[in-house]
Structure 1
Amino acid sequence: MDKAPSHPPEPLVFLHVGDLHLTTDEARNAEDFRAILKQIDGIGPRTAFDFVYLPGDLAEDGAAAQYAILAEALAAHPDLPIRLIPGDHDRQFGRMDDFRAFHDGLAAARTLPPAIDWILDRPPVAPAAPPDPDPEVWPAAEIRHFCACEDIRGVRCLFVDVVSPGYGQKGIGLDFRLGRDQTQWLNARIREAVDEKIPVAVFMHAYPDDLREPDERLDIGGLFFEAGVRLVEMGHTHYNELAHDGHTLYAAARSVGQNEDGSVGYAVAALDGPVTSWRFKALDRAWPFVLITSPADRRVATRPATEANTGMAGVEGGRVTVRAVVLSDEAPAYVHCRAGTGAWHTMTRVTDRVYEAALPWPRAARTIQVEAVHPAWSGHGPDFVDTDVIEPVLAFDAPECGPLIPEKPGSDEPNVGAWIQKGVRGDQLGPNRYGRKW
């Protein structure tokens, strides 16, 4: 077998809380959001994850009173690292003044990457009419883009704003755009990462295929595919979904505010060496929570799939290195793993966030299972025990057998369908696919 892949000591781990659509302080989604933050703030140690991501549509109508609910909820947890971008509802009435004021206040209270100002052609603010019906003659204006580039745990994290460059005005539409300057910025940051062999994760509100301009859809989706962007993490769909084109995993997490997708909660994602992993954590499930971060599951493994980039390179004695992140309010009583239905093998905590074991790998095995047990477990029943299961790659590709260029890059076409173990139902229930009046 190949030499075992080199894993960084700490994978990038983030928590994704889906679209909030906040309206009033007493609404159920506001209560759920506060409960989610409380649960996340109870994770120990705090170094078990890097940040909490809010993917836009924070306020249902982009109104100051709605951002006040959000600001108060976040203020109750001042040490939580937060990263956020706007969604179309944050520009619901063609303006982002209230979002900008909220963002400025949050940036002053805690560390946030600064927004970027670029000059773009923009229509005048309603109700004024454009000087000409041709949008090409609209005047240029300075537009604040709530985008950022950060290198975290050896991963280039790009937060992309597809809302601020859009027009969001009655008669024009709540459209998604990047604009010229942000597109060039995004290209440059990704190309730098490719040259430096740094993995890339992109955080945006929607699929690239949802961009209004056809050229932007192809340009951005094609850029992500060619550059081998590892992960694009999104909101907007209102349901959990995973789509994988052979290079990039597109992951969307269900909405907190408007949803038909089951229990409210949040997603947990990780980039661990060559492997990308994702799983949904239901709020009403007791601790602990397990996410296998290596090897890769066959459904989301990078192609061409080799022993090295799938995490299946062996070590001495026919063993495979298994790594997992365990989130909990206190250290688990034990964490163990097994191949198929074989014997359990104890995993050792090697960092604040990673448990690891050299797992014997019999030829007949088809799955890897990791189980964590909370100290409060009574010895029977499902509470206080959690399990993640993957199907690792068993047949490997030749180096030249990469995936074909997608006809619709950056879309949900290659979605993996239902994957209950990861919290994905596969039925795409929600307003943006089936036209609910939300």
Structure 2
Amino acid sequence: MKNNEKTAKTTLSTLGVIACLGLGLAHAATPAALEKAADPIVLLKVADLHVTGPDSMAEFKQVIAFANAAIHPALTYIAGDTPHNGTLAEYQAYKQVRDTLQGPVFDVAGDHEAKGGGLEHYRKVLGEPTYSFALGKNWQVVGLNSMTVDGEQIEWARKELAAAKAQNRRGLLFIHHNFTGLKEKAAQDQLNALVKEAGVKLVLAGHTHNNTVINDGAGLQITTTSIKEPRGSDPSGYAIVTLDEGRAAWHFVPLKQRTVVAICNPVSKLMATGPEDLVSGWLNFRVKVFDTFAIKQVTAVVDGGAPMPLSQDKNGLWTGKWDSATVKDGEHTLKVSASNAEGWTTSEDIVFLVSQAKQYAAAPATVSDGKAGGGKGPKGGPDQKGGKAPKDGAGPADAGKKAKGKKQPVEANELPAPVRMALEKQAGKTEFSKLEKENKDGQEIYTAKWGPKETERELKLNAEGNLLESKEALAFAALPAPVREAAGKAQPGAKSFECKKLSTFSDRSAAVVYEVRGLADGEKLPPLRVSPEGAVTEGKGGKAK
């Protein structure tokens, strides 16, 4: 947390004033201010900084500049593995930069915090790694130290969450390790039992250096990729978490993105953990948009229909109404687009659930951008021998290594004019999560990716702007009926499906096939390739990952 507390476990909800022993804390929030935070509550989450010195936080400084100018979060959560070697100098360098963030900041201890002087340096600079406080009218935040998951800490957390539950507050855990990342199974079991007993809705973690959402049907456990060294397919970035009327939504933001659309209500199917997350009757769209430029227009489109303009209230929330009784129960798509004064348009796309009877059926699912692993620490740090990776594989990449392969990242202003025009026609003036160039058989090929996972699109074009390949993520309900039927028969044990439409273009014609991958009990089944007519072939690789 951004200030030093006097006790080993500070219960912020019971204090009138936070004891501020840190350096120049001009904006430390009182517990009362956090408890009175109005919905939607906006949290900024940054993970795995791996600070090695004052010059190792360029990415963090970018996030701070945008947060202070546009996001204005109720609080910022730094999800651990902040110092790389755990030295006092690294803590002090981090603290100096962190204190430029406006608003309260909360930290947690991870395995890299335990290096060097153990948690002695953590406590000296940041305070105690455990805390509890009320956030708004619906939430109780409990910060845990995942380096010492013992009976004492679990019992303390149990009491805090039980007291909050008695006041109709849902638990929200801040912890560095996701539970499966803990080496001791006993610790995993204790935390899983705590979450189940207390009815915790949301666990926010780091450690894995990739984006993963685990929905067990009753609660969410979400890790956010490292801002320093992402290991999945998603780029370096951070997360915005919105808490609105008991709902929780996680929005990943690539580091370069400068307009952010965050749909607070409804929440996506992936975030649904109870009846409160289902839509019935009249739906009130509730959307936050963050930008350093003025927002001129925000529209909502359901199931590809006509755009519905949203209006902005005095608190900056974009709202509008839609009658869900006009559609059938089940999955539906929502796209919210925001255009700023510079003419750029950014959108967020989700799949949401309609149930007029509010009948919630748990659908456990795990969505990840890839396995954690790999990555080397910087060479020659003060407490690290050159070139050796830390035991958990964490840390910033070796800056001396060059990327393998022929693919090279490019900026939008470096694209040939025909490619820029073709992409603008397909995507509008959006922010791309990936722009790459490669030379293939003597031809320059450009790849562009944009959008959230649930509706993500990827295009391959040649230098003349001609479309070569297209990948488009789809909801299962959006697949042609023969494809749905074939996938269901091929993988009857699947609880949900990840779906993509794959198109290959040649001589102005397109060959289309659908890639469908079932998820059962948190495990991915082998991918299937299904023709529009329902003919099934196994996808590439043929093995579950």
Task: Choose from 304, 327, 333 the match for 1:363.
Answer: 327
Give 1:369 shift.
1.4
Name the TM-score, length of structure 1 as normaliser.
0.71
Residue 237 (structure 2) aligns with: 265
Task: Choose from 377, 385, 403 the match for 2:345.
Answer: 385
Give 1:359 shift.
1.9
What is the rounded CA distance, in whole Å, between the counterparts of 2:281 and 2:356 in structure 1?
14
Residue 146 (structure 2) aligns with: 162
Measured against aligned partners, the alpha-carbon deviations of 1:405-438 in whole angstroms (never above 9, x if no partner) come to xxxxxxxxx65325xxxxxx24445569x97475
Q: Contact 1:338 / 1:359 at 8 angstroms: preserved in 2?
A: no
Measured against aligned partners, the alpha-carbon deviations of 1:330-387 in whole angstroms (never above 9, x if no partner) come to 441121212111111121223525321102444268211111111111xxxxxx3211
Give 1:37 shift.
1.1
Equivalent runs, 1:122-161 vs 2, <5 Å: 146-154=129-137, 155-161=139-145
Residue 325 (structure 1) aligns with: 288
Give 1:181 shift.
2.0
Q: Contact 1:312 / 1:321 at 8 angstroms: preserved in 2?
A: no
Q: Contact 1:259 / 1:430 at 8 angstroms: preserved in 2?
A: no
Q: Which structure shows the bigger proportion of residues in strand conformation?
A: 2
Q: Cα RMSD over matched residues?
A: 2.7
Name the TM-score, length of structure 2 as normaliser.
0.58
Residue 408 (structure 1) aligns with: none
SS in 1 for 2:132: strand
What is the rounded CA distance, in whole Å, between the counterparts of 1:152 and 1:417 in structure 2?
27
Residue 279 (structure 2) aligns with: 312
SS in 2 for 1:393: strand
Q: Does residue 40 of structure 2 align to residue 11 of structure 1?
A: yes
Q: Does residue 65 of structure 2 align to residue 38 of structure 1?
A: yes
**Amino acid across the alignment from 1:205:** H
What is the rounded CA distance, in whole Å, between the counterparts of 2:184 and 2:393 in structure 1?
24
Q: Does residue 47 of structure 2 align to residue 24 of structure 1?
A: no
- CA 1:430–1:356: 2 relative to 1, 3 Å: farther
**Amino acid across the alignment from 1:253:** T
**Amino acid across the alignment from 1:162:** S
Give 1:197 shift.
1.3
Task: Choose from 96, 107, 121 the match for 1:98.
Answer: 121
Task: Choose from 79, 96, 111 the match for 1:72.
Answer: 96
Residue 411 (structure 1) aligns with: none
What is the rounded CA distance, in whole Å, between the counterparts of 2:370 and 2:242 in structure 1?
21
**Amino acid across the alignment from 2:50:** H
Equivalent runs, 1:49-88 vs 2, <5 Å: 49-77=73-101, 79-88=102-111
- CA 1:350–1:50: 2 relative to 1, 3 Å: same
SS in 1 for 2:112: helix
Q: Does residue 380 of structure 2 align to residue 417 of structure 1?
A: no
What is the rounded CA distance, in whole Å, between the counterparts of 1:216 and 1:97 in structure 2?
22
What is the rounded CA distance, in whole Å, between the counterparts of 2:210 and 2:51 in structure 1?
17
Residue 350 (structure 1) aligns with: 313
Q: Contact 1:237 / 1:254 at 8 angstroms: preserved in 2?
A: yes
Give 1:43 shift.
1.2
Gapped regions of structure 1 (runs ≥ 5): 1-7, 105-114, 116-145, 166-176, 378-383, 405-413, 419-424
Gapped regions of structure 2 (runs ≥ 5): 1-36, 376-388, 396-545
Give 1:87 shift.
1.1
Q: Higher relative CO (CA 8 A, sep ≥ 6), structure 1 or 2?
A: 1
Residue 372 (structure 1) aligns with: 338
Q: Which moved more, 1:66-75 or 1:150-159?
A: 66-75
What is the rounded CA distance, in whole Å, between the counterparts of 2:120 and 2:246 in structure 1?
41
Q: Could you tell me the percent identity over the aligned residues?
A: 21
